Amino acid sequence: CSLARQGKPFIDATNAGRRAAPEIAQNGLNLESIPCTPAVYTTSLGDLIVLEKTLCFQRMEEIVEGISTYSGGSVTGLHAVMGSDLKKAVFPGPVSLTMKVGKAIRGALKSEKAPVDAMLNALGPLGYKLFEGEVFNYWQDDEFGFIWGIAKIKGTEEFEGHDMKIWYKNEHHISWLDGKPYVTSPDGINVVDVETGWGLANFWSAEWEQGRKVAVVGVKAEDRWETPMGLKIFGPQHFRWDIEHVPIDKAYKTIE
């Protein structure tokens, strides 16, 4: 990151934990009921918007979605937070975990070993190999300032004869194994190339070429996301899916 290149310290913490989130409301500040205003937003068109007061994080999300939709799909924003509030709201550790996983993948490639295995070893009890196969269908839309869609993967190796479907809104949030709900947000769902360990991003649909060999790796969310408030703002029903979230360590199954 830019701070590291300048020799400055970087806080090993994020506002959403061990995964990315598509919406402003899905953050630790919201979990702790910390106010989301005042906030300042800018657009690529040169607009400067000051939001002095709003009902809640979800209402802020709706306002910014509207601005983004009519501003080329991009808005940059900052809001003021007291240091004491930030300390109790953020999730510590994901930056160093990401560096650990990246280092393991690079080491595996250098020694001609399987990068997905290295990734899982680095994640330890937080990581789960959910599926392996080939991309056979990928659909995408970009309404309301987000990238939405479905990815379908046909099983290979030990997953031969099975299939996985993943729904995404910027990031992956709902998975189905053989047509039945499987792992869901707030747990992480990552699709990676089996040969390189490189994650497939929904912002570049060309990466999802038919026949590409991929693995689906799940990452357990922090316990704070498993609370009633956490599931309210980051579980399947928040995304309007009538699916009950089952924590990944309970949902995970070995394919027979």
CATH of the domain at 73: 3.40.1610.10
Per-residue pLDDT in tens (0 to 9) along the chain, 256 residues: 677 788 888 889 999 999 999 999 999 999 999 999 999 999 999 999 999 999 999 999 999 988 988 888 788 888 889 999 999 999 999 999 999 999 999 999 999 999 999 999 999 999 999 999 999 999 998 777 789 999 999 999 999 999 999 999 999 999 999 999 999 999 999 999 999 999 999 988 889 999 999 999 999 999 999 999 999 999 999 999 999 999 999 999 876 5
- CA dihedral over 167, 172, 176, 181, signed as positive or negative: negative
Question: Where is the domain boundary, 38, 69, 91?
Answer: 91
Regarding whether 85 and 118 lie in a shared domain, the answer is no
pTM equals 0.92
Amino acid 162: pLDDT: 97
Q: What CATH number is associated with residue 119?
A: 2.40.390.10
Note the helical H segments in 53-113: 57-69, 83-89, 94-110
Please tell me the total count of domains within the chain.
Answer: 2
Amino acid 1: pLDDT: 60
Q: In the beta sheet, which residues pair with residue 154? A: 134, 163
Residues in Cβ contact with 129 at an 8 Å cutoff, skipping those fewer than 6 apart:
116, 120, 215, 216, 217, 218
Task: Give the Cα separation of 155 and 214 in Å (integer).
Answer: 10
Task: Give the Cα separation of 222 and 92 in Å (integer).
Answer: 10
Q: Residue 102, SS3?
A: helix
Regarding whether 99 and 84 lie in a shared domain, the answer is no
Amino acid 149: pLDDT: 96
For the chain, how many residues are written? 256
Element (H or E) spanning 228, and its range? helix 228-234
What's at 136, amino acid-wise?
A: F
How crowded is residue 211: how many other Cβ atoms within 10 Å of its Cβ? Answer: 8
Regarding whether 98 and 71 lie in a shared domain, the answer is no
Question: Where is the domain boundary, 91, 125, 156?
Answer: 91
Amino acid 14: pLDDT: 94
| Structural domain range at position 105 | 93-251
Q: Check residue 201 and report its DSSP letter.
A: P
Main-chain phi, psi angles of 204, to 5 degrees? -125, 85
Amino acid 17: pLDDT: 96
Regarding whether 110 and 30 lie in a shared domain, the answer is no
Q: Is residue 174 included in any domain, yes or no?
A: yes
Amino acid 256: pLDDT: 57
Whose tokens are 């953020």? That residue is: 90
